[in-house]
Structure 1
Amino acid sequence: MDSQRCVRTGLHYASEERIQVTWSPDGRIDSLLPGEGEETIWIAPGLIDLQINGGYGYDLNSLPLTTDTVIQVTRRLWEKGVTLYYPTVITNGDDEIEQILRVIDAACLEDERVGSTIGGVHVEGPFISSEEGPRGAHDSRFIKAPDWGLFTRWQAASGNRIRILTLSPEWPNAADFIRKCVSSGIVVSIGHTAATPAQIREAVAAGATMSTHLGNGAHLTLPRHPNYIWEQLAQDQLWAGMIADGYHLPDSVIKVILRAKLTKTLLVSDAVYLSGMPPGEYETHIGGDVILTPEGRLHLARKPELLAGSAMMLLEAVQRLAESGLCSFPEAWDMASMLPAQAMGLTDYDGLKRGARADFVLLEKREGSLRVLETVKDGHSVYRAEG
């Protein structure tokens, strides 16, 4: 890489000062200096999506899964400013989950840049609640109690890439299972749960540090208090993942989560393969028959009040949250970049700082939307917009 390609100039996404970012061929930021120019191009850390099932017609949970599907998903995410993501493998048969994990691992080995963009795998289920509501759109046929032998088999199939596990602590011996996961370097996230407050507290004491799409994957009606949502909000050790697509959570609930969790709030897309697709009726692995409305709401055909994942990518979720007035644009961006890195213990993903990985995006702010002009991953330009 020549020195010309190692320099970018733009407005810092948070300070709004014009900066010049330089980086070395090893993919680390060398310096941030005052920049020159008049263009209104913004520079921001790359987005990190901790929960995504696919997009643009590419489904990471349907078999047969190919390495090309994983590669194509990754390339489309570069177009949306994502420089690190955790493909999310949801509730399925034991063998099917193993097959999917093997393909993701093979894709990482086949394409080095794809491998560096996949920070790990997020396994969401099948160790979740079997109850209607908390189960969400997950297939009840495959839900089961936590099984360490099965999980280690999956971990081996993944090439040791499983980094996040969503489970419900309502199962007997869940705390022991959580401790084994944590000692193995797995981030345990509480989700799709009907657990009691005591079980939530026991899970946190065992090492759970995250809540999966808090406020969703829940009963439609809950006791006013206590309940598992209040309890997770009250646990300071838990990072709160949330979907800010305008359908999963009302703005009033997002406001409460932001106030309760302060700087421990994470934006995730929870995008399924229908993200970026036209409205209509579809069939999905999770949920079966679903309907994508013209407004972008994705719900079960049999039960419209239950959502079947999100059809909005992380970039658009950041824009929507910032426009809601609940937080500033830099705060919304950090919830989808800097804070996920902190939640995952990724100390070298430190944003726009000297010595940090050169993972960043160049943006153009248009009225009501954000346009990614370029995505830089590990110091390499992996996407440039045409025109």
Structure 2
Amino acid sequence: MSSTESGAFDVSGKDPATGERLVVRVRDGLIAEVRLAEPAPHGDPDPSTPQGDLDTWLAPGLIDLQVNGFAGFDVNASDSEADTDTITKLVRALWSVGVTTVVPTVITAPEAHIVACLRRIARARAADPLVRHAIPYVHVEGPHLSAEDGPRGVHPPEHLRAPDVAEFLRWQESSAGLVGLVTMSPHFPDSTPYIAALVSHGVRVAVGHTHATPDQIRTAAEAGASLSTHLGNGAHAVLPRHPHYIWAQLAQDRLSAGFIADGHHLPADTLVAMLRAKGLNRSFLVSDATALAGSPPGIYQTPVGGEVELSEDGRLSHRGTPFLAGAARPISDGVAHVANLGPFSLAEAVALASGSPGRFCGGRGELRVGATADLVRFRWSPGKPTLTIEQVVVAGTRVVG
């Protein structure tokens, strides 16, 4: 980056789609100009592009619609374990891995705990303008989920309950309308009016952790459900060949689907097939990261899952078993994983974690004049398991590099 005038600076790097070097002018928090870097008369690089940028990619900041925690900071921690600063530190830790938009995810719990988490996030947003920008809304995953083993995942069964519009309104009242996405299973008898009520309040509804029938999923989409939460996970270990709820969601054009691309939750062939079936324009990546994401490998004791082991490659499992205990790799690793699969380009992988989820955040994730300047510069080459983040800009402020 180079300063060019008071309140303005340039960010440069290669375009993942073309390989050409771009220069983006940032002014007053917005993208003021996007242009190709032009060579100097003797074939030298554009003077505004530092030499170190020649092997560095430039993209919109990454967007993660499902984050339970990161680097030891837990969105769902009890009041005795966390305060407002927990959310601020979580957001700033995610900047280090290129995430400029984060949707904290509150999971199934007693209503009082959900409300406490929402209020904590609301306080963090009120205290810091950059945190407020980075968190456009909150995702509540549950408590209206399947109680069956497999679809339930690790959501505590004692706190699962049927959808209740009155409870949703209490969530919103406690957080000044901060809930923007709710994941639910549409197998409940009152799912249709619940979905319609949330959509009427401007809240998106996702299908997830479900054993619903294809007809129930179709009805949910007709009522306004528009997303699928980490499709292919939160499911039974064994399903009939057909019909079942995964095929139904892949086939439903009204539903865009999130996928955990950490190399552990979905085998490579499965992820490729699902991305192709749903289509890249209706797909996006999520990390579903827990508080142990970004932590060193080792043995940990956790409130949910007990003793777990985090391996060098980011697999988080119940110690001594082959079973996963959550996700522990940031979405930047997911971008690299998709780019390494073979069928998809780096540009497509980046879009799955920027422009595609950005559709559900007011159109974020684009390099265009007039857009908010959320940018990430990184190094990556084929075979590398992650993006090496060099510089990050959030709402026109340089926060990394």
Find 1:283's aligned residue among 290, 297, 301. Answer: 301
TM-score (norm 1): 0.94
For 2:169 and 2:222, the matched residues in 1 are separated by: 22
Q: 1:358 to 1:299 in 2, by over 3 A?
A: same
Q: How does 1:36-75 map to 2 (within 5 A)?
A: 36=46, 37=49, 38=51, 39-64=54-79, 65-75=82-92
Shift of 1:111: 1.0
Q: Residues 141-188 of structure 1: CA distance to partner in whole angstroms, max 9, x if unpaired?
A: 100001111111112222211111000001111011000011111110
| Unmatched tracts of structure 2, length 5 or more | 38-45
Count how many residue pairs are aligned between Structure 1 and Structure 2: 380
Shift of 1:281: 3.3
Contact 2:356 2:365 in 1 (8 A): no
2:359 pairs with 1:356: no
Shift of 1:257: 1.2
Worse-superposed segment, 32-41 or 221-230: 32-41
Q: Residues 268-313 of structure 1: CA distance to partner in whole angstroms, max 9, x if unpaired?
A: 00000011223333333443443323442223459x4542221100
2:31 pairs with 1:8: no
Q: SS state of the match for residue 63, structure 2?
A: strand
2:106 pairs with 1:89: yes
- Partner of residue 24, structure 1: 27
- Partner of residue 396, structure 2: 379
In the alignment, residue 299 of structure 2 is paired with which amino acid? Answer: E
Shift of 1:5: 4.3
Q: How does 1:108-127 map to 2 (within 5 A)?
A: 108-127=125-144
Q: SS state of the match for residue 183, structure 2?
A: strand
Contact 1:43 1:363 in 2 (8 A): yes
Q: Residues 68-123 of structure 1: CA distance to partner in whole angstroms, max 9, x if unpaired?
A: 11111111111111110100001111111111110000000011111110121010
- Partner of residue 144, structure 1: 161
- Partner of residue 101, structure 1: 118
Q: Percent identity?
A: 43
For 1:353 and 1:319, the matched residues in 2 are separated by: 24
For 1:227 and 1:85, the matched residues in 2 are separated by: 31
Contact 2:11 2:26 in 1 (8 A): no
For 2:216 and 2:322, the matched residues in 1 are separated by: 27
Q: SS state of the match for residue 101, structure 1?
A: helix
For 1:242 and 1:31, the matched residues in 2 are separated by: 33
Q: How does 1:1-387 map to 2 (within 5 A)?
A: 2-3=5-6, 5-25=8-28, 27-35=29-37, 36=46, 37=49, 38=51, 39-64=54-79, 65-262=82-279, 263-301=281-319, 304-342=321-359, 344=360, 346-347=362-363, 349-365=364-380, 368=384, 369-384=386-401
Q: 1:255 to 1:100 in 2, by over 3 A?
A: same
Contact 1:62 1:285 in 2 (8 A): no
Q: 1:98 to 1:182 in 2, by over 3 A?
A: same
| Unmatched tracts of structure 1, length 5 or more | none
Q: 1:372 to 1:88 in 2, by over 3 A?
A: same
Shift of 1:350: 4.9
Q: SS state of the match for residue 282, structure 1?
A: strand
In the alignment, residue 282 of structure 1 is paired with which amino acid? Answer: Y
Shift of 1:365: 2.5
Shift of 1:29: 1.1
In the alignment, residue 182 of structure 1 is paired with which amino acid? Answer: V
